[in-house]
Amino acid sequence: MRIDVFTLFPQVFQPYLETSILHRAIKRQLVEINLHNIRDWTTDRHHVTDDVPYGGGGGMIMKPEPIFAAIEGVLGPKPNCPVVLLTPQGRLLDQSTAYELSAQPQLALLSGRYEGVDERVRQHLVSDEISIGDYVLSGGELPSLVLIDAIVRLLPGALGDPKGALDDSHASGLLEYPHYTRPAEFRGWEVPEILSSGDHARVARWRREQALLRTYFRRPDLLDMAELSEEDRKFLEKITQDEAAQDPTADRGD
Ligand code: SAM
């Protein structure tokens, strides 16, 4: 996979790309990430990339010329890969979006700054818009890195354990089960006995039930879309019937 990132602050990316899973994925040539400084594509003496907004008001707007020049200069006049603008106005990033984008052989990411980019960039250059959440950051660099991380860890060979991503929260629509490591007892708090029983089938069932419980109490909205077996459904029915007894926030109406 190839990812071209267009930004005014390429230096923000480097340390993260040189760390852990992303670093390994780049070294193994699972992904090639090219950083492009939009400022390098300005033609004026002062390398200006922003200007005041038409109609007045505060803040600066990223000018269209250097952005078009950078993206078309790198990808050609008609880019044949998705050109993704990171913006709080885009479709919300979730795990299925990450899977969808990880299947692309090539992506271009555009990180905004200031009040954002001139609208003509969005209308005539960008083909997709992604938000990493309903809040506003100062720039699109962190959102681009969030998107890159979410995508790259899904590429085959990126994770040490190839099955690692399968149980992750949101991979199958559930939140993941709780994890424990050594010591078996810490400050009197013990690891659930079943996890050291050596009975793989019981451990798998316990983990599945924990994932169902977590999702039911923390994110019940996810259950509508989750892939559930008959056994899962029966377990959830049992919890639903026991809800008043188990969930301290339940309103018993008395
Ligand atoms: N004025 C813009 C608006 O209200 O939609 C927000 C501009 S924001 C201060 C500057 C840049 O940060 C945006 O152009 C975008 O690239 C990035 N950004 C901020 N929050 C984001 C989010 N939640 N998701 C993706 N990108 C974001």
CA of 218 to the centre of ligand 1 (A): 28
Within a domain: 80: yes
Which one-letter DSSP state was computed for residue 76?
Answer: -
pTM for the model stands at 0.94
What pLDDT band is residue 250 in, cutting at 50, 70 and 90? very low
- Name 86's bridge partners: 111, 130
Write out pLDDT tens, residues 29-87.
999 999 999 999 999 999 999 999 999 999 999 999 999 999 999 999 999 999 999 99
**Is there a domain that residue 160 lies in?**
no
Quick: pLDDT tens for 145-155: 999 999 999 99
Q: Is 50 in the pocket of ligand 1 (CB under 6 A)?
A: no
> In this structure, are 34 and 108 located in the same domain?
yes
> What total of structural domains would you count in the chain?
2
What is the residue range of 145's domain? 2-152
pLDDT per position as a tens digit, 78-127: 999 999 999 999 999 999 999 999 999 999 999 999 999 999 999 999 99
Residue located nearest, by CA, to atom 22 of ligand 1: 88
Domain assignment of residue 254, yes or no:
no
**Tell me, what CATH number does 200's domain have?**
1.10.1270.20
pLDDT digits (tens, 9 = 90+) for 176-209: 999 999 999 999 999 999 999 999 999 999 999 9
CA 175 to ligand 1 centroid distance, Å: 28
Strand ordering across the sheet containing 83-92: 32-37, 2-7, 106-111, 83-92, 128-131
Is the C-beta atom of 136 inside 6 A of ligand 1? yes
Residue type for position 245: A
